[in-house]
Amino acid sequence: MRDPTAFLGQEYADLVTNATDWKLRVLRGASTPWCEIDGKKVLMFCSNNYLGLSNHPKLKEAAIEAVRTHGVGSGSVRPIAGNMDLHVELERRLARFKRADASLVYQSGFATNAGLIPQLVGEGDLVISDELNHGSIIDGVRLSRADRAVYKHADPSDLERVLGTAEEHSPTYRRILIVTDGVFSMDGDIAPLDRIAALGARHGAMVYVDDAHGEGVLGEGGRGIVSHFGLSRSEVHVEMGTFSKAFGVVGGHISGTKELVDFAYNKSRTWLLSGSHPPPVAAACLAAIDVLESEGEHVRRLWELTRRFKKAMQSAGFDIGQSATPITPIIVGDTHRAKALSERLFELGVFALPIVYPMVAKDRARLRTIMNAALTDDDLAFAIRAFETAGRELQVV
The arrangement of strands across the sheet holding 102-106 comes to 102-106, 252-256, 238-242, 206-210, 176-181, 126-130, 147-151
> Angle 292-293-298 (CA atoms, 0-180°, nearest 5)?
35
Cβ(33)–Cβ(379) under 8 Å?
yes
Asked about 245 being catalytic, the answer comes back as yes
Distance CA(376)–CA(372), nearest Å, equals 9
Q: Which of 103, 144, 185, 342 is catalytic?
A: 185
Alpha helices (runs of H) in 350-376, residue ranges in sequence order: none
Would you give the end-to-end CA distance of the chain in angstroms?
54
Distance CA(236)–CA(178), nearest Å, equals 10
* 276 secondary structure, DSSP code: P
Amino acid at 133: N
Q: Which of 213, 237, 253, 310 is catalytic?
A: 213
Bridge partners (DSSP) of residue 126 are 147, 176
Asked about 185 being catalytic, the answer comes back as yes
Q: Which of 245, 253, 277, 339 is catalytic?
A: 245
Phi then psi for 386, rounded to 5 degrees?
Answer: -65, -45
* 204 secondary structure, DSSP code: T
Q: What's the Rg (C-alpha) of the chain?
A: 22
Cβ of 347: how many Cβ atoms within 10 Å? 11
Active-site residue list: 185, 213, 245
